[in-house]
Amino acid sequence: MVIWALAKKDLRLILRDARALIILLAMPVVFILVLGVSLGEGFGQKPADRLRVSVLNLDEGLPRHFDRPAMLREGMAWFAALPNGQGAAAVLGPCGVAGTLAPAWFPRDSWSALILRDLDETADIRVELIPTRAEAEQLVSSGRRPAVLVLGKHFSRRVARCSFLAGGWQDTYTLASAFPRPGNPAALACLGLFDERQTGLPLYLFDGINPFFRDGVKLELLDVEVMRDPTQQTAAAIIDQVAQGTCMRIVMPWMIGRAFEKIGDRAFLELLGKEEQLPTPVRLFLTNPLVPSQQKRQLSIGLQNSLQNLFSKYNLTAKTWAALTKESEHAGGGPGATPYREEGTGWLKRGAIRYQLLVPSYLVMFAFFLILTVGWLFVSERRQGTMKRLRAAPVRRGAIVIGKLIPCLIVSLFQGFFVLLAGRALFAMSWGPHPGWLALVVAATSLAAMGLALLVAAIARTETQVAIYGTLLVLVLAALSGALMGDRALMPEQMQTLSRITPHAWALDAYRQLLTNPTPNLATVAVACAVLTGFGIASLGVAWWRLRLE
């Protein structure tokens, strides 16, 4: 058969130049290798993945006496003997402890758990947990993370002490008045009981931390640190602001709720009874020991209800931001905090997401280098007069063109499958859940490249023109489509839309669906293959019209 004879002849010519063939196959692999090693960890990740907050959680949580049942069970059982259950409040009220006996203690978990949940449920943020401080310092010093948010071991204790209220026990009864002698052992021992490092007594006795200032939250007061890389100040500042926002959402409702609940406390009524601006009947009502405490309690409840009705847009007794603003709580909509792990393995970072983008990008780009091969075949045979002899022979024009295109198509298909195999073997890339569709995309891309190659061969008259037209066209199309930069997602949205005038963009969209999407949209892949096939057929048609064999 004439077509097969012509194809075998040209295929022998191509395979005879083994050095050029090796370069044609090796060049995309070399590009992928160099860029795969050079690019940073964020390359190829989705925008939501790049906006990650790395957290080192050293928080020890709250002492075991922080909830009412444990306090009653382990340290204050003797208060149960007092009449009507009022003895505990009577004794502990002046010390600022009455609030600890609230019916529902908040939170039941550590405060760091609430911080992590808030971060996780914030849109476009992924929480990454760093296991040790040494690893966090190494990540920041090496520039692999712009900042790491460190929740210190006293974080829960500090947040629990945040309050708009007066300081608590130390404001009512100072050790200085009880133990005037400096260095008194009894005073030192008593002070130790209320140090935040002890676990024997509830630290609620020491309130009064105000973490707010003009620019937001004083993170150091909450035992929070933002470990920064000085070379990435902008990214570190973003993480700092994320930490400020989440701390504000956690601490502010807690402080407002605590303050509002105090209106219903006996201690508040006692303070109110001392207010000189009150009308005498009201003051006598509050200070009269003959008035039942239940009636006084009703007064405080009435005050609470009136204030709540006045500020009806907010739930002033809430302890969370969503409850404070009367919005529905998130139901764990975030992806969840994930442990820190290296992206890829070894020096090449084998298996990293970057190779799912780099391999198809340079596969597509180098597929269109076929323009040079086809152009040189046609132009050199025209110059040598081989085309004239073939036209003089009883061989149809179509048979000559097809016979010359078949070996180039074989080389293009072989190059595409070779790059995919090299990506799997060298870079541990995944072929996705539908590897069979990759063969269809490779074939459609080769057909599009074939059509464009023949069009250049029809226009160029010399080998120099083939080199100039072909190289310029390959580089411009690769840059316009995003193949040259390795990831089309890095382009502006308008440019991504414009780039679809190139066949490269359609091929890259198909590869992205198959290689990076866990559930590929096969309809999108089929449309891309149809566009590539249509482009190839249209280009072949125009080339057939313009092509001169003599």
Measure the CA–CA gap between 452 and 541, rounded to whole angstroms: 10
Query: What pLDDT score was predicted for residue 93?
Result: 42
Measured CA to CA, the distance from residue 71 to residue 101 in angstroms comes to: 9
List C-alpha distances in Å: 489 to 43, 46, 47, 357, 512.
Answer: 10, 9, 9, 10, 10
Of 254, 285, 320, at which residue does a domain stop?
A: 254
Residues 16 and 75 in one domain: no
Query: Is there a single domain that holds both residue 440 and residue 532?
Result: yes
Query: Average pLDDT of 316-320?
Result: 71
Average pLDDT (179-208) is 57
Domain that holds residue 247: 48-254
In this structure, what token pair is assigned to residue 113? 């758990």
Band (pLDDT 50/70/90 cuts) for residue 24 is confident
Q: Mean pLDDT for the chain?
A: 76
Q: What pLDDT does residue 204 have? A: 52
d(CA 67, CA 409) in angstroms, rounded, equals 75
**CA–CA gap between residue 216 and residue 6 (Å, rounded):** 77
Does residue 328 lie in a domain region?
no
Average pLDDT for 379-394: 67
- Confidence tier at 108 by pLDDT (50, 70, 90): low
Per-residue pLDDT for 318 more than 60? yes
Distance CA 402, CA 290 (A): 111
CB of 67 within 8 A of CB of 108? yes
Confidence of residue 440 (pLDDT cuts 50, 70, 90): very high
Q: Could you give the angle at which helices 463-481 and 436-459 cross, rounded to 10 degrees?
A: 140
pLDDT class for 278, splitting at 50, 70, 90?
Answer: confident
Residues 37 and 59 in one domain: no
Give residue 377's pLDDT: 73
Same domain, 29 and 63: no
Q: Tens digits of per-residue pLDDT, 500-514? A: 899 999 999 999 889
220: pLDDT strictly greater than 60: yes
Query: DSSP secondary-structure letter at 81?
Result: G
Q: 3-state SS of 488-541? A: HHHCCHHHHHHHHHCHHHHHHHHHHHHHHCCCCCHHHHHHHHHHHHHHHHHHHH
**Domain assignment present for 305:** no
Same domain, 539 and 442: yes
Categorize the per-residue pLDDT at 533 as very low, low, confident or very high, splitting at 50, 70 and 90.
Answer: very high
Q: What is the mean pLDDT of residues 327-332?
A: 56
Report the range out of 254-263, 340-349, 465-474, 530-539 with the highest average pLDDT: 530-539
pLDDT at 353: 80
pLDDT of 230-267, one tens digit each?
878 888 888 899 899 999 988 888 888 878 877 777 77
Q: In 3D, which of 157, 113, 128, 112 has the Cα closest to residue 53?
A: 128
Least confident of 95-99, 219-223, 535-539: 95-99
For residue 103, is pLDDT > 50?
no
Question: What pLDDT, on a 0 to 100 scale, did the predictor assign at position 186?
Answer: 60
Looking at the chain, the number of H-run helices and the number of E-run strands are 25, 7
Q: Is pLDDT of 271 > 90?
A: no
Q: What is the pLDDT of residue 372?
A: 79
Say whether pLDDT at 197 is over 80: no
Separation of alpha carbons 145 and 148, rounded Å: 7
pLDDT at 510 (0 to 100)? 92
CB 247 within 8 A of CB 115: yes
Do residues 25 and 120 both lie within one domain?
no
Q: Is residue 499 part of a domain?
A: yes
Give residue 448's pLDDT: 92
| CA separation for the pair 411, 370 (Å, rounded) | 9
**How many domains would you assign to the chain?**
2
- Asked which of 212, 235, 254 is the last residue of a domain, the reply is 254
Q: Is the pLDDT of residue 527 over 90?
A: yes
Within a domain: 140:
yes
What is the spatial distance between Cα 296 and Cα 286, in angstroms, rounded to a whole number? 7
The reply to whether 307 falls in a domain is: no
Dist. CA 475–CA 485, nearest whole Å: 11
Q: If you count them, how many residues does the chain have?
A: 550
The answer to whether residues 90 and 14 belong to one domain is no
Q: How far apart are CA 128 and CA 49, in angstroms?
A: 10
Most confident of 298-307, 394-403, 439-448: 439-448
Which pLDDT does position 328 carry in this prediction? 61
211: Cβ–Cβ under 8 A, 6 or more apart, which residues?
158, 162, 217, 218, 219, 221, 222, 247, 251
Q: Are 153 and 58 in contact, with CB atoms under 8 Å apart?
A: yes
The percentage of residues in the chain with a pLDDT greater than 70, rounded to a whole number, is 72
The pLDDT assigned to 532 comes to: 94
The domain boundary, picked from 232, 254, 276, lies at 254
pLDDT for residue 188: 52
Same domain, 529 and 413: yes
Confirm if 500 and 480 have CB atoms less than 8 A apart: no
Residue 175 lies in a domain: yes
pLDDT mean over 280-300: 78
Could you tell me what percent of the chain has a pLDDT over 90? 15
Task: Pull the structure tokens for residue 470.
Answer: 């072909």
- Kindly tell me if the per-residue pLDDT of 273 is higher than 70: yes
d(CA 319, CA 260): 11
Q: Does this model's pTM top 0.75?
A: no
Assess whether pLDDT exceeds 60 at residue 82. Answer: no
pLDDT at 182 over 60: no
pLDDT at residue 78, rounded to an integer: 33
Which tokens go with 477? 């199309």
- 36, containing H or E segment: helix 18-38
Residues 521 and 282: their CA atoms lie apart, in Å, by 73
The helix or strand, by DSSP H or E, that contains position 25, with its residue range, turns out to be helix 18-38
- Are 415 and 524 in a shared domain? yes
Mean pLDDT, residues 282-288: 77
8 Å CB contact between 97 and 202:
yes
Q: Would you say residue 497 has pLDDT above 70?
A: yes
Residue 446 or residue 457, greater confidence: 446
Task: Looking at 173-290, list the stretches that DSSP marks H as alpha helix, in order from N- to C-terminal side.
Answer: 175-178, 185-193, 233-261, 266-273, 280-287
Q: For 150, phi and psi rounded to 5 degrees?
A: -110, 115
Is 79 within a domain?
A: yes
- Per-residue pLDDT at 434 exceeds 80: yes
pLDDT, tens only, 355-381: 888 899 999 998 888 777 777 777 777
pLDDT at 525 over 90: yes
* Pair type for strands 212-213 and 338-339: unpaired
The pLDDT assigned to 341 comes to 57
CA 239, 242, 245 angle in degrees (round to 5)? 155
Please check whether residues 145 and 174 belong to one and the same domain. Answer: yes
- Asked if residue 198 and residue 177 are part of one domain, the reply reads yes
Q: Could you tell me the pLDDT band of residue 421, with boundaries at 50, 70 and 90?
A: very high
Same domain, 73 and 26: no
Tell me, yes or no, whether 101 lies in a domain. Answer: yes
Q: Distance (Å, rounded) from C-alpha 481 to C-alpha 509?
A: 10
Q: How many angstroms separate the Cα of 530 from the Cα of each of 67, 136, 232, 498, 547?
A: 66, 49, 45, 19, 25
